[in-house]
Structure 1
Amino acid sequence: MTDDTLPKQAILVVNAMSRSGADAFEHARELLEERGVELLAAHAIENPDDMLPTVRKALAAKAPMIIIGGGDGSLSSTIDDFLGSETVFALLPLGTANSFAKTLGIGTDLQAAVETIATGRKMRIDLGAIDGDYFANAAAMGLSPMIAETVPHQLKRTLGMLGYIIWAARVAFKFRPFRLVVDDGRRIHRTWATEARVLNGTHHGGIELAESADLQSGEIVVQAVTGRGLGRLAWSWFATLFKLRSRSQTVTEYRGTKLRIETRPPQKISIDGELSARTPVTVTVARAAVWVAAPR
């Protein structure tokens, strides 16, 4: 049987500009050391541009494990570099939605995340890719990127998920539905949509959207909120949030290892909360791409 024990040595890299990063850095160091994790180095990153170079230096030094503290954007922007490496990717959920932590079953509590790093297991997971840009959890087009692009940083830092909801209500009147075309290699699907999600994991925006998505399935799920009215999108989010039985009736899912997505008009895409693509795109999956720290 393969040994799935997590390393006891790690390098800690925290995005101090994430929602709770600055406050959590010292506390996380103390908790990790109390639980027997030896920190070879610890970095509180004040400038987001320094995040990736710091992680790359840790990977070049062949650190047994690198602990990334930040929101979903920080995690997604750094996980690409773990491909082909035996270094374990561990996380401290310090953002607003913390979708990837929820997908892994870690939750959003700092102490629980540290406990996972101290006593959990290492697990191989798939990564999704949009035109070669790898992501851990989810991407979206429609209203979500519009919110991500315009929401004031101070609003989401202060109010968290409530800030996103307030801003969504403000920008929704500018939004228009779009024509979605998904080619799964077997059939071309066409529909009107108000939102489309590309899911490697179960959560997006802090909410469980696709129970069928699996980090180890070898497939990507494209989930469309079909129709042309924003009322249907609002109902879809409401039904999903409260796990109503009708939630599955508000979405259509397509899945595969390679899917071509086109929209009319072209749509911006947020990948794990950060704007970084625009349709048309090709979505693929990298099977068992990286090691991550997961609960046992």
Structure 2
Amino acid sequence: MAMATKLLAGSSKRVVTRYMPNLNSAVKYVRTFCVGNGSNKPNQEEFIPDDTALELGPFGPQNKRFPLPGSIGPKFEKSPQPVVSRSKPETDVVKPFLENQPEYRHCNVLEQIVLFQEEDGFMTEDSHIPLPSDRLEYIAQECPDIMRVDFKNLFPGRDIMNGTLTLVTISQKTDNDMSSWDTDVDEEREALLAAFVQGAKEICEALESGGYWADFIDPSCGKPFLGPHTNATLFETDEAYRKLGFEIEDLGCCKVIRHHLWGTKCYVGCLFTNAPLTHPIIEIMTDP
């Protein structure tokens, strides 16, 4: 499976980011872990045949860039790009202008995240720009300790304050601007909701088959989909998402989440598990 990849690697924590054409790209990979072969790595011969891709409903048709059996295609290596540090503006004239730009605010948010994780040894590596055809961003990270309290009440009966807790955000690029509301927006949100719920269920099932706990937040109600009832919620406009690199804009009548690449043309879902980042399902590995 070929994907553009960004890794933030550190001595004890890291963030894994993948860009893919759609959620089906991840689900087809994850399905290989539900066949009971007892291996941590998928059996390449057990990927879904190409002719079944048309039956995947909201996940869309097979990506034609990977025509070989097992969704395999040529992998092109990119030469490393130099890391360019963002220097702060030196004049009072330029600085106010830049501070009003979404990209500038997003960088500041990421810097704040890195600051409170710096003691754990975070370091940034080169990143790759997603392809124009990529419409899904998959980010997995070890949940920072200071954020666990934000999610504690979502999972009654589970001690998420201790042990491994991996947090996955899945952002789907939309055709419509989610800051407005009309029939087209409503229909697209319903389709993306169905895609996310089905995909998240399969990811959780694959993790549970390996002996891990996993659950995801139903975007329609903000509550865990698989866990026991709770009054706590986590909607996509929750302030907790600011700590994950998103922006939350208050439009007066409502709030909307803003993605660092796609702005308000974005639909975000969230998944939790005690599987480590090194598990191949969480990494969505590119190698068989």
TM-score > 0.5 by shorter chain: no
Which range, TM-score by smaller chain? Answer: under 0.3
Q: Which has the higher strand share?
A: 1
**TM-score normalised to structure 2 length:** 0.26
Answer 1 or 2: higher relative contact order, Cα 8 Å, separation at least 6: 2
